[in-house]
Amino acid sequence: MVSTEPLRCAGALIVDHDSRIFFQRRSPHRRLFPNCWDIVGGHVEPGEDIDAALRREITEETGWFLSHVLDQVGEYTYVGDDGLTRIEYDFLVRVDGDLDHPRLEAGKHTEYRWLAEHELSVLDEHRDVNDGLIRRIADEGFAALRSTGP
């Protein structure tokens, strides 16, 4: 029997000391949002809570470690092109590690960028694939960053 429960996901909008947010490009062969810019994150594994998933995904996708959560940015529900419903919980965070040298997860991401708020138009690439979701998350991330201060 197939579960009808939505997949839960945790996402991290990682902030650097210049108030920029980290984005990485998904590989072109990924089923969901291929070749799109994305934040760090992924599915919550069985037996895992959102905080543990957030910590695990940050380390798996960048090699960095969660330092602290600044704010919860949002909760997004969407249906992927695989037909599965996802509920994504996104957080504005700071991390520990060498921010100039992320260790991108092999085969899943091809490049990264630190973007300032005025540079977000790059996230509109392949907007038809992700329906502008990544841009909306980024806009809300910068709004949360402004409200939390430097």
Helix (H/G/I), strand (E/B), else coil: 127: helix
For residue 22, the one-letter residue type is F
- CATH level 2 (architecture), domain 7-148: Alpha-Beta Complex (3.90)
Residue type, 135: R
**Mind listing the pLDDT tens digit of every residue in the chain (150 residues)?**
455 789 999 999 999 999 999 999 999 998 888 888 999 999 999 999 999 999 999 999 999 999 999 999 999 998 887 888 999 999 999 999 999 999 999 899 999 999 999 999 999 887 766 678 889 999 999 999 999 865
The full set of domain ranges for the chain reads 7-148
115 CA to centre of own chain: 13
Q: Could you tell me whether strands 109-115 and 21-26 are parallel, antiparallel, or unpaired per DSSP bridges?
A: antiparallel
126 phi and psi angles, rounded to 5 deg: 60, 30
Model-level pTM? 0.92
109: closest CA among 52, 42, 10? Answer: 42
